[in-house]
Homo-oligomer: A and B are copies of this chain.
Amino acid sequence: ERAGKPEAVFGEGKSLEELVKIIEAYVKEKGRVLVTRVKKEHLEELKKRFGNARINERARTVIVGDIPQPFAKVAVLSAGTSDIAVAEEACETLIFLGIEPLKFYDVGVAGIHRLLEPLKKCMEEGVVAIIVVAGMEGALPSVVAGLVDVPVIGVPTSIGYGTSLKGFTALFSMLSSCSSGLAVVNIDNGFGAAVFASLIARVAKRGESK
């Protein structure tokens, strides 16, 4: 395994048998594994098979093996309640990678005042990055990046209808942002945002240990 990239499995489209086989192989070889995008019906079965697995139903993730002590903090904000599944995928991936997530959900732009308190908290806690999950018009990451000076990672979600274009409006909105300090990952890719944030944390720690 290359340093910094997680032992992760993309669960979508895999049968229960395939998942069990892959998990066992990873655990044997690496001691641990993270599985994402697991179907609801598979989650319960995996719980039974892997007794002490960590299951997150909203995130649809499974972690088998030890969870490391956190060595850094990353904030995870979500704009609406429907974006929480993706935000939770990010959080579970962070936890798996040894990062403590600070969660602030449902702080979208329709009520901008709810945003200031969380951002103050982020700064006090010394987060190394802020992951902002937002669907529909995807405005939240722009607003956040206009207010802070740590890297902001935007995660567009496929939440919305009509002109939301299954996440493309949020994606393009974030990329076209008039705020700088914002980079993005694929639609609904909470996992990818967390891996990227973890690499920032590693670089920050490297600095620290100098």
Q: Which residue numbers of A lie inside 8 Å of B, CB to CB?
A: 2-6, 8, 12-13, 79-80, 82, 108-112, 126, 128-129, 136-139, 142-143, 145-147, 149-151, 153, 156, 158, 160-189, 191-193, 195-196, 199-200, 202-208, 210
Contact = CB atoms under 8 A, between A and B. Distances in A.
A172 B176 contact: no
Contacts of A151: 196, 199-200, 203
Contacts of A186: 161-164, 175-176
Contacts of A204: 203-204, 206-207
Contacts of A138: 137, 173
Contact of A175 (B142, B150, B184): B184
B175 A185 contact: yes
Contacts of A112: 112, 143, 146-147
9 contacts: A13-B82, A108-B178, A112-B143, A162-B166, A162-B176, A163-B171, A164-B172, A169-B176, A208-B210
Given A111-B146, A187-B161, A181 B4 contact: yes
Contacts of A191: 180
B188 A161 contact: yes
B162 A175 contact: yes
A77 to B, nearest CB: 14
A8 to B, nearest CB: 8
Contacts of A111: 146
B175 A163 contact: yes
Nearest to A153: B183
Contacts of A185: 175, 182-184
A142 to B, nearest CB: 5
Given A12-B161, A170-B176, A171-B175, 5 more contacts: A110-B146, A163-B186, A173-B173, A183-B193, A200-B203
Nearest to A138: B173
Contact of A195 (B171, B178, B181): B181
